[in-house]
Amino acid sequence: MSESVARVVAALRGHGLAAQVVEYPEGTRTAAEAAAAVGCDVDQIVKSIAFRGEASGRCLLFLTAGGNRVDPQLAMGLAGEPLAKADADFVRVETGFAIGGVAPVGHARPIRAWGDPRLLDFPRVWAAAGTPRHVFPAEPRALLSAAGAEVAHFALR
């Protein structure tokens, strides 16, 4: 098991969640790819969208339903500071994962997070497990809780 996947599995188990990681060799790099691989609605894929807080310098994570996008104004309102796009190096340092594999849990450093209420419309959702070809299923409320994510309105269709 890759070190990244192992970190996600340990974090999920630490929160009492089953960590049933599935590998799709064809890749789950984007929400569309992950939905096609799993065979689920694209909104059942949890995108972990990272921003850099311009005042705090901290990484902030928006766990977004696959078919939605983050509204920057709403996200800034929640963060309470201007947000900049996170570049690949920043994402790697803060989360410990490469873009396309960023998991909602198991980060290198504690990260403040918010969750898209659209995810709660499903009995289960799928999120990246640390690499661009590993995902795991979870009950959405339990996943957002494990991620320390506050359910909030920041997403646009």
Q: Which residues bind ligand 5CA (CB under 6 A)?
A: 28-31, 34, 45-49, 86-88, 99-102, 127-128, 132, 135
Taking the complex as a whole, the smallest distance from the CB of residue 92 to ligand 5CA amounts, in Å, to 10
CA distances from 82 to 51, 77, 104, 133 (A): 10, 8, 22, 32
Half-sphere exposure (Cβ direction) of 20: Cα atoms closer than 13 Å: 7
- CA-CA distance, 34 to 80, in Å (whole number)? 32
- Measured from the CB atom, the residue of 10 and 88 that comes closer to ligand 5CA is 88
- Select 55 or 88, whichever has its Cβ closest to ligand 5CA: 88
Provide the minimum distance between the beta carbon of 16 and ligand 5CA in the complex, in angstroms, as a whole number. 22
Query: What's the first-to-final CA gap in the chain, in angstroms?
Result: 35
In whole angstroms, the minimum distance from the beta carbon of 19 to ligand 5CA comes to 15
